[in-house]
A and B are shown apart, each in its own frame.
Chain A
Amino acid sequence: MEQTEKVVNANTSFRVKTRRGLLTPKNVPYFFIGPAFLLIMIFTVYPVISSFILSFQEVRGVEKSFVGLANYTRLFQDPIFYKSLLNTFQILIVQVPIMLLLSLLIAVGLHSSMLKGKAFFRISYFMPAITALVAASIVFMILLDENFGLVNYFLSLFGVNSIPWLTTPFWAKVSVILVMTWRWAGYNMVIFLAGLQNIPSDLYEAASIDGASKVKQFFMITIPQLKPVFIFTVVMSTIGTLQLFDEPFILTGGGPNNATMTITVYLYQAGFKFFDFGYASAIAYVLVIITAIISWIQMKLVGDE
């Protein structure tokens, strides 16, 4: 995309009149980028490098010793790590498509029917996404309680037997997926809505004149026009799910029997519960590589720059 981009080139600056002050079109980008550059170098790049070095070390107390690739080789023999990988991918494959489909449907529903109170709907759907994790954790732990929770109470009104939401491996995974969908469907819906509103309405008008049905219009106009938005949400949701931490951490702590152990929860446990900082860093960098590969594949698949 660099080629298509129009940039200020040297010629422009020669053409313009004399400039007051120190900032010229030539040096001004450094001024604009400066603060972000410094902050990122100091508070992100440096810690990242230092934790990367840590992944080749064993840490005991404050003593660090180099152990070569030992942390990485251990990782590939660790059944719990494989389980956390598997869990993460299971959740990714099930949750992301369901959530995005749901978000899209809600967005289309809101957009198409000239509904009254659009703002009300938008805010209601968006609310879960802005809730603090601590708040969500407290509320859902009580709601999903197997014996006294509100969810099972309501299900029992419809004759459904009580479901062990958080205490059996299968349902714990389902709970994590449900809560993730609850939290993020509205967020993605708002993004889709933004995309829908940006589709020029004359496209639809032209199609209507040609006699295309609503359904046909949806597939011929809406979907292709939403492509960039789609890529954006898919990539962001994928990265988010690969780094999934909050929901399993607050709901199940990775259990039962590691059924909801994700890569980042395992990383956290290795570091904070078992003090294995070197190992925790190694887990993180394997995750970074996986994320990079998957994002790259997704970009390639949809043929975007």
Chain B
Amino acid sequence: MVAKKITSKIIIYILLIAGVVLSIAPFYWMIVGSTLPSGEIFRVPPKLLPGDYLAKNFQTLNESLGIAKIFWNSLFIALVYTLVSTLISAMAGYAFAKFKFKGKNVFFFIILCTLMIPSQVTLIPLFEMMVTFNWLNTYQAIILPTLASPFAIYLMRQNMKAIPDSIMEASRIDGAGELKIFFTVILPVTRPAMAAVGIFLFMSQWNSLLWPLITLNSKEMFTLPVALSSLIGMARIDYGQLMLGTTLSTIPIMIFFLLLQKHFISGILGGSVKE
């Protein structure tokens, strides 16, 4: 019986590890690629161990992009976006979950509908709007249009619904103002949900390509995906430099996930599960 248990555990272990290998093999290869000169990447049989070209790749990458500024752009945009958007969706989710008000159902329906609309289709009207506001090539053009995320609002609403009403009522009886209730009572208990939403928002903004590409013009404003995309030229591609760029672009998002992942697990579905 015990032996059987151990074998089954080992089998599960092996299968899970095999899955992990499949999941992260492309990353390993990407990292190896960033230490090789361009020509070596296509060798058959392939090189599977890091080379010594990392510094050189970094130098060329930095020359063609100006890594520091581009990192700053991406980081600034993603962080501001994540913070503000998380707050906005928490507020909206709270209103949807805990209050009755006129137009609530209509607006919630609109939000669900916008989830179904492919983003490519609003591109041109949105771009025209950015032109009218004279916002091309600015941070706000990238941050504002997706700042209220239907998905995030939906997730926050699900989570807020799990909070017992008694908490709010108790605070009201104590004479706490509505804002105070929200910031000191509600927000702290939804921290896991906010972490989940935060990761989701950071991820989508950090990786977003098409919209920043359309609205940003000058290299000083580029975000990482736009800059990486500009490296894929027609006549010659320096793959070593490109691999390094892609490797660098995944690091911050991994750190962000590592920091918040504990909450993420309990927050992503907290509400809808407890319902």
Contact = CB atoms under 8 A, between A and B. Distances in A.
A binds B: yes
Interface of A: 2, 5-9, 12-13, 15-17, 19-21, 23-25, 28-33, 35-37, 39-40, 42-48, 50-51, 54, 106, 109-110, 112-113, 115, 119, 121-136, 138-140, 142-143, 148, 150, 153, 182, 186, 190-191, 193-195, 197-198, 228-229, 232, 239, 243, 245, 263-264, 267-268, 271, 277, 280-281, 284-285, 287-288, 291-292, 295
A194 B253 contact: no
Contact of A130 (B107, B165, B254): B254
B20 A16 contact: no
B250 A131 contact: yes
B64 to A, nearest CB: 15
Interface string B93-104: 011101111001
B269 A267 contact: no
B269 A195 contact: yes
Interface string B80-107: 0000000011011011101111001101
Contact of A229 (B228, B250, B262, B269): B269
B179 interface: yes
B23 A130 contact: no
B265 A190 contact: yes
Given A25-B178, A130-B253, A263-B118, 18 more contacts: A5-B161, A17-B175, A31-B91, A36-B92, A45-B114, A122-B265, A123-B261, A124-B24, A130-B250, A133-B225, A138-B232, A148-B42, A186-B23, A190-B265, A197-B265, A197-B266, A267-B121, A284-B117
Q: Across the A-B interface, give the 3 residue pairs with the lowest CB-CB distance, nearest first.
A: A135-B246, A29-B99, A39-B148
A25 B173 CA distance: 12
Contact of A138 (B9, B122, B246): B246
B148 A284 contact: no
Interface of B: 9, 12-13, 15-16, 19-20, 22-24, 26-27, 29-30, 41-42, 44-46, 88-89, 91-92, 94-96, 98-101, 104-105, 107, 110-111, 113-118, 120-126, 129, 144-148, 150, 153, 161, 165, 168-169, 172-173, 175, 177-179, 182, 203, 206-207, 209, 224-225, 228-229, 232, 239, 242-243, 246, 249-250, 253-254, 257-258, 261-262, 264-270, 272-275
A50 B120 contact: no
Contacts of A291: 116
B94 to A, nearest CB: 5
